Every structure is written in C-alpha cells, then in structure tokens.
C-alpha cells in the first residue's frame, strides 16, 4: 500500500510512510448497530491510525505526544502487545493505542480503539479476538463512566451501543439489562429506540452476528 506522506515519530524520531490524519472519505452506506460506518469510509480502517515501525508508538498522529505517553510506549507491557499472539497483526495498532489511552486515563477513547480493533478482526473472520476486544471496550467504557467520561452522543446512544456489544459477545443477560435501561431514558431519539427494540429481537434469538441500520430502513413503514 502506497502512503501519500510521511510522519516523524515524536518518541524515537523515526521517519516512516504514513497516511495524514483526518483525510478520510465520507461514508455513503448505513452504519452497523455498533456505529461502524458504511463504505467507503469503513474500507479505510487501516488508515485511521499511524504506527512507528521502530518503537511501536501507535496513535492517530504519531508526530504528537501526550505527557506520560513515552514511558507507557517503552514499557514491557506495551511492547508485548506489538506481537500479541491473541490479536491479528492488523488489529494490534488499535490494541496498542487503546492500551496507551487507557493508561493515560482516557478510558472513553480507549474503548473506541478497542472496538476499532474488533472491527479489523471482523474483516478477518477472527471471531474469538473480536469478542475479546469488544469485552475490552466495554470494560474501558465502564472505567470511563466511573470517572464521568461519556463515550456516546447521549445516554440512550450509549445504552444502544453497549447492548450491541454485549449481544455480540454472547452476554445476553447483560444485553437485556442495557436494552431495558436504554428504553427508560427520557427523550430517546426515534432511531436509537428502533435499534434497541430490534436488539431485543436479536437477543431473544441468541443472535451474535453483525446487523446494520439498513435492516431498520427496509422495515420502515411507507409514508402515506
């Protein structure tokens, strides 16, 4: 894959090929229930993160560095994730970034990076690591909520997302609880309510598969 630019690592100074951050196409297709965007954006996931080939620093922009990040990246724990046999190679940059963010107490963002790693695993049909990474995302978001960090647009959207991740990992009892709590949120947006009600059907069917907003569009009553 050709890269249109280069990036200089803020930790070790290595210059390597990189996609510039933020230069991504807009999605045209509908997202999945876990917010994974439609194409063409979803096909660019390998461009969402930069990786230094020398020290392994993974971030959206490796030319920038948060306070305390260098020590985390150079730690044995972080370095071990670069070759983690339980995660596909393509997912490890997101896994490393998630670990870094979590150690920096940016738990909400960490959860999203774990979920992005799970999406990479989905593309590779690597179901066990995808399930494990979704569980890591849930745990990171729980840590974030405990200190007042939000990870969604609103509370109902967070419950809808959590419901999907619990369902995808086969934790149907937790998914049912999240579904019910989501429907109790005041002023819930109609699309979010529709997702939650569809989730209950999937939970009852013990369905752990990927589902898209396109399903709700197909089932929408015709306007008269």
At residue 15, the 3 state secondary structure works out as: strand
- Measured CA to CA, the distance from residue 206 to residue 24 in angstroms comes to 35
Q: Per the confidence metrics, is the pTM higher than 0.85? A: yes
Give the mean pLDDT of the chain: 95
- pLDDT tens per residue across span 38-96: 999 999 999 999 999 999 999 999 999 999 999 999 999 999 999 999 999 999 999 99
Q: Provide, rounded to the nearest whole percent, the portion of the chain with pLDDT above 90.
A: 92
Domain boundaries, given as residue ranges, for the chain? 152-214
- Cis previous bond, 40, omega within 30: yes
pLDDT at 129: 98
pLDDT at 221: 44
Which candidate, 156, 223, 150, 218, places its Cα nearest to that of 189? Answer: 156
Taking 80 as the threshold, does the pLDDT of residue 224 lie above it?
no
pLDDT at 3: 72
What tokens were used for 194? 């529709």
- pLDDT tens per residue across span 113-162: 999 999 999 999 999 999 999 999 999 999 999 999 999 999 999 999 99
């Amino acid at each position: 894959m050709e890269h249109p630019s280069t990036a200089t690592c803020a930790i070790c100074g290595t210059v390597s090929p990189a996609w510039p951050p933020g230069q991504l196409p807009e999605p045209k297709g509908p997202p999945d229930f876990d917010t994974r965007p439609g194409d063409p954006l979803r096909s660019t996931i390998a461009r969402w993160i930069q990786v230094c080939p020398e020290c392994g620093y993974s971030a959206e922009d490796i030319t920038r560095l948060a306070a305390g990040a260098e020590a985390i990246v150079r730690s044995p724990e972080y370095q071990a994730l670069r070759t983690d046999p339980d995660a596909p190679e393509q997912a490890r940059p997101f896994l490393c970034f998630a670990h870094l963010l979590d150690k920096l107490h940016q738990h909400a963002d960490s959860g999203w990076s774990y979920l992005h790693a799970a999406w990479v695993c989905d593309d590779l049909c690597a179901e066990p690591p995808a399930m494990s990474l979704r569980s890591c995302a849930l745990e990171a978001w729980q840590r974030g909520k405990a200190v007042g960090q939000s990870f969604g647009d609103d509370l109902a959207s967070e419950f809808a997302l959590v419901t999907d991740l619990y369902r995808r990992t086969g934790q149907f009892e937790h998914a049912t609880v999240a579904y019910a709590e989501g429907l109790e949120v005041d002023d819930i947006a109609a699309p979010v309510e529709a997702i939650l009600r569809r989730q209950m059907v999937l939970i009852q069917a013990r369905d752990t598969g990927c589902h898209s907003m396109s399903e709700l569009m197909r089932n929408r009553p015709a306007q008269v």
